[in-house]
C-alpha cells in the first residue's frame, strides 16, 4: 500500500511539471521525490509520469489517477490538520467518571473553570462509586479513590485523602473525648451496615495498621444518615475527611484521634494504558493538579 507521502509527491510532480519543482514545493531532496514516484509506480504497476530532462508529464493512466486521488489526498490532509489542532487545543466531548459525593463538591468547580477556559469542549459527567471499566463505558478518564489494582490503566496521582473519627460538641460535652482508639469500646459509635467489615475502624497504632472493633445503638447503610446522626449527638462517626469538611468548617462536628489516623487513601485520575492523553484530557489533568489540594483533605 502506498504511503500518503508518495501520493503527495505524485500530485506535486504533476502540478509543478517536474521532479525538481515538486522537490522545491515539498521541501524534500530530489532523490527522495524520485524514489517516492518510483515506489508508487511499482505499487500500482504502471508508469504514471513520462520523464524528460526538462519536463515530467502524466501518462494517460497517470492523468486519470491524478483526478481520482487529488480530492482524497486533500481530505486526508485536512483530517490531519484537524487532528493536530485537536491535540494542541482542547475540543470535542470530554467524558468523565467520578464518585457520587466527591464530584459535586470538589470536581465541579474545576469542570466549570475548564469549560470557561476552553469553550470548544463539552463535558459528560457520569457519577458512580463503582470502579467503571473505561473500555466498555466509553469514558475518557475516571477519578478513583482507593488503592489501585493492576487495571491496565495509566494514571496521575492527585493526592491522598484522610480518614477521621469525628463527633458533635454536644456528644463530647456529655461523654468526653477518647484519647486512644482502644477507648472507643467505651463510646457509642455510629456504624455503616454495608461496609465489608461493619464496626471495624482502621487506625495506625504503634506504627502498624490495626482494625478496632466499635459498636453503638444506631446503625445505617447511608453515609448521609451517619453524618446526620453524629451531628445530632448519637455517637462518633468514621469517614473520609473530605466528606465532612463542610460540617467541620461550620463547627457542627470536630475530629479526634488525629495521631492514630490510618494511611491516607490515594486518589487518581486514570485513562487507558498506552494512550497518550490528547489535548482535552491533558489540559483537564493540568487544571486538576493546579486546583485540587487534596493532600490537605
Kindly report, residue by residue over 31-59, the tens digit of the pLDDT.
Answer: 999 999 999 989 988 999 998 777 889 99
Q: How confident is the model at residue 273 (pLDDT cuts 50, 70, 90)?
A: low
Query: How do residues 74-123 score in pLDDT, each as one tens digit?
Result: 888 777 766 665 556 788 889 999 988 888 888 999 999 999 999 989 99
DSSP 189: B
Using a cut of 0.75, tell me whether the model's pTM lies above it: no
Distance CA 64, CA 116 (A): 50
For the stretch 228-233, contacts whose Cβ atoms lie closer than 8 Å and that sit 24 or more positions apart, written own/partner, are: 229/190, 230/166, 230/167, 230/168, 230/171, 230/190, 231/168, 232/168, 233/167, 233/168, 233/170, 233/171, 233/174
Structure confidence at residue 1 (pLDDT): 44
Distance CA 92, CA 86 (A): 8
Q: Where along the chain do its domains lie?
A: 4-88, 92-161+265-296, 163-260
| Same fold yes or no, 4-88 and 163-260 | no
Structure confidence at residue 158 (pLDDT): 86
What are the distances in angstroms from CA 219 to CA 98, 223, 257, 284?
A: 27, 10, 22, 39
Query: How do residues 121-167 score in pLDDT, each as one tens digit?
Result: 999 999 887 776 766 677 888 998 887 765 556 778 888 889 999 99
CATH dotted code for 92-161+265-296: 3.40.190.10
pLDDT: which is higher, 267 or 234? 234
Residues 6+ apart with CB under 8 A from 196: none
Please answer whether residues 192 and 221 qualify as being in contact, where contact means their C-beta atoms are separated by less than 8 angstroms. Answer: yes
pLDDT over 90 for what percent of the chain?
A: 44
CATH dotted code for 4-88: 1.10.10.10
CATH classification for the domain delimited by 163-260, as one of 2.60.40.10, 3.50.20.10, 3.40.190.290, 3.20.190.10: 3.40.190.290
Amino acid at each position: 500500500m502506498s504511503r500518503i507521502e508518495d501520493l503527495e509527491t505524485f500530485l506535486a510532480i504533476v502540478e509543478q511539471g517536474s521532479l525538481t519543482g515538486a522537490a522545491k514545493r515539498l521541501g524534500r531532496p530530489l532523490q527522495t521525490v524520485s524514489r517516492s514516484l518510483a515506489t508508487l509506480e511499482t505499487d500500482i504497476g504502471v508508469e504514471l509520469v513520462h520523464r524528460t530532462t526538462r519536463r515530467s508529464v502524466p501518462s494517460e493512466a497517470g492523468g486519470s489517477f491524478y483526478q481520482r486521488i487529488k480530492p482524497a489526498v486533500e481530505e486526508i490532509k485536512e483530517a490531519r490538520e484537524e487532528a493536530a489542532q485537536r491535540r494542541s487545543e482542547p475540543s470535542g466531548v470530554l467524558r468523565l467518571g467520578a464518585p457520587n459525593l466527591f464530584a459535586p463538591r470538589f470536581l465541579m468547580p474545576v469542570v466549570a473553570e475548564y469549560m470557561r477556559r476552553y469553550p470548544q469542549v463539552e463535558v459528560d459527567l457520569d457519577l458512580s462509586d463503582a470502579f467503571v471499566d473505561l473500555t466498555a463505558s466509553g469514558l475518557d478518564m475516571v477519578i478513583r479513590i482507593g488503592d489501585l489494582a493492576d487495571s491496565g490503566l495509566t494514571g496521575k496521582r492527585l493526592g491522598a485523602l484522610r480518614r477521621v473519627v469525628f463527633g458533635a460538641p454536644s456528644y463530647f460535652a456529655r461523654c468526653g473525648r477518647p484519647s486512644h482508639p482502644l477507648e472507643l469500646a467505651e463510646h457509642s459509635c455510629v456504624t455503616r451496615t454495608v461496609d465489608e467489615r461493619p464496626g471495624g475502624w482502621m487506625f495506625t497504632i504503634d506504627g502498624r495498621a490495626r482494625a478496632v472493633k466499635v459498636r453503638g445503638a444506631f446503625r445505617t447503610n447511608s453515609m448521609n444518615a451517619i453524618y446526620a446522626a453524629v451531628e445530632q449527638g448519637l455517637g462518633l462517626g468514621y469517614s473520609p475527611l473530605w466528606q465532612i469538611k463542610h460540617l467541620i468548617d461550620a463547627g457542627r462536628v470536630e475530629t479526634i484521634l488525629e495521631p492514630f489516623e490510618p494511611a491516607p487513601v490515594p486518589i487518581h485520575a486514570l485513562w487507558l494504558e498506552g494512550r497518550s492523553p490528547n489535548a482535552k484530557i491533558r489540559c483537564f489533568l493540568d487544571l486538576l493538579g493546579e486546583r485540587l489540594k487534596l493532600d490537605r483533605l
